[in-house]
Structure 1
């Protein structure tokens, strides 16, 4: 199997994704939120790049949740922000969620020409790797990044996916992929690897330490949400 890597949402294009199995990662925090919300019974998650589209689509809808962030903070007028701990069963069960974030939802929308779009974070690395193997086609891992820049948290998650894939199938590793695997092997503790990194440090400064305890729980869930027909759901 051939595995490619894209390091920011801005780099994603039709030519890089068309016909591919794409795995979208935004560890801090969009894909972690999506996985958590769906595990807690949310029906569907509709991701959009821009806030205005969500406002328009939700204008005449009832029993939906608007959520998301800009610069890590909840969007004014929205129901929830981008903390996975907000998406409890009591709040989201049976509901549709409309979501816009700085990086993650952009990465998904930019990937719409892919054959399959898998949603991954630390919470479901093992199951996501199993799903990639099940589909049996070349794969492109898309790291959402942070504001158009490389983000260590997403790269670490990508390295863990590759490491998991290597247990079961042969992968020809480029230097980029090898570097990600080496990063994933550098420490046993995710916090130790991410210490001092830009996005992680900003979220800690904003008081989201409890989010990290949840987000950094490796393979907490077995579900693998996918984006299809305009929304993310568990099939």
Structure 2
């Protein structure tokens, strides 16, 4: 099994993913939100790159939630932002969610040429690794990045995925993947690895320390959300 990594949502669009499994990562915070919402009983998540599309599609819909962010802040007029702690069972159970974020939803839309799209964050790495192995396809890990730039938080998550895959099955990796494994092994405390990184520092400055603590919990959940037919679910 060959493993490749791309570091931004924009780069995903340039990658040939036909016949491959794609793993989308946007740990701070879109994929962490998706996993949390579905774990708490949301039915489906419809991801879109732009706000206008969501506004149009939701115009006559009921029992839905509009959520998302721009520059880490909740979109005006939307029900929820992009903090996973907002997506409680009381708020999301049995509802469809329409979501737009700066990086994560773009990464999903730019990866739709792949055979499978799995949604991953630190919260469900072990289950995603098992699913990658089950599908027996070459795999592209798409790190959403931050505003078109490399993001250390996503890269760290990718490194842990590759490290765990290497333990469980035969994989073929390049120097980039080896470097990501080294990053994941550099410190047992993930927060220390991410200290002073751009996205981590931005969330910290906006008062999202509780989000960070939650998101950096390894393997809290066993679900593996998948994107197909235009939405994300765990069915």
Q: Structure 2-normalised TM-score?
A: 0.99
User: Residues 137-191 of structure 1: CA distance to partner in whole angstroms, max 9, x if unpaired?
Assistant: 1000000000000000000000000011011111222110000000000000110
Separation (CA, whole Å) in 1 of partners of 2:21 and 2:172: 17
Taking a change above 3 Å as real, the CA distance of residues 66 and 212 of structure 1, as seen in their structure-2 partners, is same
Give aligned pairs, total. 235
What is the correspondence of 1:39-188 to structure 2 with a 5 Å cutoff? Answer: 39-188=39-188
Task: Give the unaligned 5+ runs of structure 1.
Answer: none
| Secondary structure of residue in 1 paired with 2:45 | strand
Taking a change above 3 Å as real, the CA distance of residues 14 and 20 of structure 1, as seen in their structure-2 partners, is farther
Aligned-residue offset at 1:15: 4.6
Corresponding residue for 1:11? 11
Q: Is the 8 A contact 1:14 1:113 kept in 2?
A: no
Aligned-residue offset at 1:17: 1.6
Q: Structure 1-normalised TM-score?
A: 0.99
Corresponding residue for 1:208? 208
Separation (CA, whole Å) in 2 of partners of 1:52 and 1:156: 32
| Secondary structure of residue in 2 paired with 1:98 | strand
**What is the CA RMSD across the aligned residues, in angstroms?**
0.7
| Secondary structure of residue in 2 paired with 1:46 | strand
Q: Is the 8 A contact 2:33 2:82 kept in 1?
A: yes
| Secondary structure of residue in 1 paired with 2:36 | helix
Task: Give the unaligned 5+ runs of structure 2.
Answer: none
